[in-house]
Structures are given as C-alpha cells and as structure tokens.
C-alpha cells in the first residue's frame, strides 16, 4: 500500500471512529436499531467507496445521513414500528407506552427528540447531522415533547 493510500485509509478511519456511532444513532429513530445499523454500515461503505469526494464535502456526516436514510428505507419495504418496546425488566423506569408514543410522532420530530433526549445530543450536533438550523431543532424538540406529554397523559 502506498503512502497516499495509507493516508487515505487513516483519514477515513478517523472519520469512521468519530462519526459512525453518531450516524447510526441518527438513523435509529426512523429505521429502528437493526436497520439503522445496516443502513449506517451501507452509508459508511458508500462513504469509503467515494471517499475522495465525500471527504471534500462541507458536511460529510450530513451527506452520509441522507445516504443512510435512503438505503435504510429501501431495505424496509413495509412499515414497522421503528422503536422497540420497553423490556419488561425496565418498565418500572420507563413508561411502556413511550416507544409507541414516539413512533406516532412525525419522523422528523421523532428523530430530533430521540437524539436530544434519549441520546443526549446537543442541538448543534443534531442540526449539523440533519442539516437543519439550530432553531428548527429546538422547535421540533419542543413540539415533540409537547405531543409526547399530551399523548402519554398523566403517565409522564
């Protein structure tokens, strides 16, 4: 392997290390955990195959998020419920109706609110990955939380 090829691999490796989890988590609210993992892998593979171009992009992770989302949706022909139910052992800690309430949100709201409140992303991180403005993220979060509280009634 040449020095240039080594540098390319190192460069992509660093990108992969830094962003794979973020990419996978960002896809989870819309695709579910299994498809999100596959879609993230597909997107990362696409990124690697096109690394010379992707690496020059202003927002490569945002780009790969779009790629992963498209690939994931293609994998999933029929609708499932993206977010898994709460395991019985965790029900004391989490309202069982929460996943279904999340699934009833619009995809955009679900994605944003899961990233912010479940995965503890900052608004800025969400904005960068989803290519939204920070204020839009904030608005989505507020509306999603409002919907969740209304949906869950007095249980949350």
Report how far residue 67's alpha carbon sits from residue 43's, in angstroms, rounded to the nearest whole number.
Answer: 6
Within 10-69, the residues that bind other proteins by CB under 8 A are 10, 12-13, 16-17, 20-21, 24, 28, 33, 36-38, 40-42, 44-46, 48-49, 57-59, 62-63, 66-67, 69
Cite the DSSP H helix spans in 32-83.
33-49, 51-54, 60-75
CB 30 within 8 A of CB 110: yes
Within 67-96, the residues that bind other proteins by CB under 8 A are 67, 69-71, 73-79, 83-84, 86-87, 90, 93-95
Helix, strand, coil share (%) of the chain residues, nearest 5: 75, 0, 25
Shortest reach from residue 129's CB to other proteins, in Å: 13
- Among 143, 29, 16, 54, residue whose Cα is nearest residue 135: 143
Site size toward other proteins (CB under 8 A) is: 73
Based on CB atoms, which residue is closest to other proteins, 49 or 55? 49
Site string for other proteins, 116-155 (x = CB under 8 A): -xxxx--x-------xxxxxx-xxx----x--xx--x--x
Based on CB atoms, which residue is closest to other proteins, 37 or 125? 37
Shortest reach from residue 19's CB to other proteins, in Å: 10
Tokens read off for 115: 């990233």
Based on CB atoms, which residue is closest to other proteins, 119 or 125? 119
Shortest reach from residue 107's CB to other proteins, in Å: 8
Shortest reach from residue 37's CB to other proteins, in Å: 6
CB 47 within 8 A of CB 64: yes
Residue that is written with structure tokens 């994605």 in the block:
111
Q: What is the DSSP letter of 156?
A: -
Report how far residue 81's alpha carbon sits from residue 18's, in angstroms, rounded to the nearest whole number.
Answer: 29
């Amino acid at each position: 392997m040449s020095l240039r090829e080594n540098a390319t691999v190192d460069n992509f490796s660093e990108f992969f290390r830094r962003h794979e989890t973020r990419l996978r988590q960002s896809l989870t609210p819309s695709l579910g955990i299994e498809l999100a993992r596959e879609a993230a892998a597909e997107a990362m593979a696409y990124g690697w195959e096109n690394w010379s171009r992707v690496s020059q992009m202003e927002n490569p992770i945002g780009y790969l998020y779009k790629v992963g989302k498209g690939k994931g949706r293609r994998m999933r022909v029929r609708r499932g419920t993206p977010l898994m139910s709460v395991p019985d052992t965790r029900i004391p800690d989490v309202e069982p109706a929460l996943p279904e309430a999340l699934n009833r949100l619009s995809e955009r709201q679900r994605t944003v609110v899961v990233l912010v409140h479940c995965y503890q992303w900052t608004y800025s991180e969400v904005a960068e990955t989803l290519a939204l403005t920070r204020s839009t993220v904030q608005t989505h979060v507020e509306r999603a939380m409002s919907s969740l509280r209304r949906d869950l009634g007095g249980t949350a």
